[in-house]
Amino acid sequence: MSPTSADVLRGTLDLLVLKTLTLEPMHGWGISQRIEQLSKGAIALNQGSLYPALQRLELKDWVRSEWRTTLNNRRAKYYALTAAGRKALGEEKADWRRYVNLVAAILEAS
């Protein structure tokens, strides 16, 4: 599988965004950079899909947003994890591990 074509698995984008935001509040572009960085370039996001995802998370009250000025003095919308979001991340992570193990077990079975 070539790195550029690796699409984000359906439903995991929210998980990645939440995980990224555990470090510090970030704007959308920052999140996309961080995800690509953490995946060592293996995941090439369709960056535009971040914004609907952030909107969804905000409606669930897992993230909050506010307009701030960046280091080089430009306005950007920053997203921060809420307490509910932190809790949800824990649960989603556990779910994800269970799922991966399950799929792996099935694939490994000969």
Partner 1 sequence: MSAWRGAWLRLRALVGKAAVEGELEEEIRFHLERETERNLALGMSPAEARRRARIAFGGVEDTREAHRDARGTRWLEDALADARHAVRVLRRNPALTAAAVLTLALGIGANTAIFSAVNAVILKPLPFPRSDRLVALGEDNAERSWHMQTAAPANMYDWRAQVAAFADVAAYTYPRPAVLTGIGAPRPIQTTPVTGNFFTVLGVAAERGRVLRDAETWSPTGVATVAVISDRLWRDAFSGAADVVGRSVRLDGRDVAIVGVMPARFAFPDEQGDVWLPMGWKPDDRALPSFRRAHYVRPIARLRDRVTLDQASAQLAAVARRLQQVNPVLDRGMDAHLESLHRFLVGDTREPLLLLLGAVVVLLLIACANVGNLLLVQAAGREREAALRLTLGAGRGRLVRQAFTESLVLSLVGAAVGLALGWWGTRVLGALQPRGMLPVSDVPVSWPVVGYVLAVALLCGLLFGTAPALWSARRAPVEALKEESRSNTSRRLRRWSDALAVAEMALAILLTLGAGLLVRSYVLLERTSPGFDPHGVLAVELHAIESRYDSDAKVLGFYRDVEAGVAAVPGAASVAAVSVVPLTGGGWTSDFSVAGEPPPAQARDVAHREVTPGYFRLMRVPLLAGRDFTDADDSSHPPVVLINEALRARYFAGRDPIGMRICFDAHPDSTSEWRTIVGVVGNERAISLAIEPMPEFFAPLAQEGGRAIMTILVRTVGDPLALLPGVRAAVSAVDPELTPRSATTLDDVRSASLAQQRFIMILLLAFAGTGFLLAVIGVYGVMAQLARRRTREMGIRIALGAQAGAVQWLVVRHALALVGVAVAAGVAAGVAGTRLMGALLYGVRPGDPLTFAIVPAALALTALAASWLPARRVSRADPAGTLRAE
Size of site (CB under 8 A) for partner 1:
25
Q: How far is the CB of 65 from partner 1 (least distance, A)?
A: 9
Verify binding: residue 69, partner 1, rule CB under 8 A: no
Tell me the angle at which helices 13-21 and 83-108 cross, rounded to the nearest 10 degrees.
130
Residue 90 near partner 1 by CB under 8 A: no
Does residue 101 bind partner 1 (CB under 8 A)? no
Half-sphere exposure (Cβ direction) of 73: Cα atoms closer than 13 Å: 0
Give the residues across from 79 on adjacent strands: 26, 65
Contact between 15 and partner 1 by CB under 8 A: the answer reads no
Binders of partner 1 among residues 16 to 55 (CB under 8 A) are 27-29, 32-33, 44-49, 51-53, 55
Beta bridge partners of 77: 67
Cβ partners under 8 Å of residue 86, min gap 6: 22
Q: Which positions touch partner 1 (CB under 8 A)?
A: 27-29, 32-33, 44-49, 51-53, 55-56, 58-61, 74-77, 84
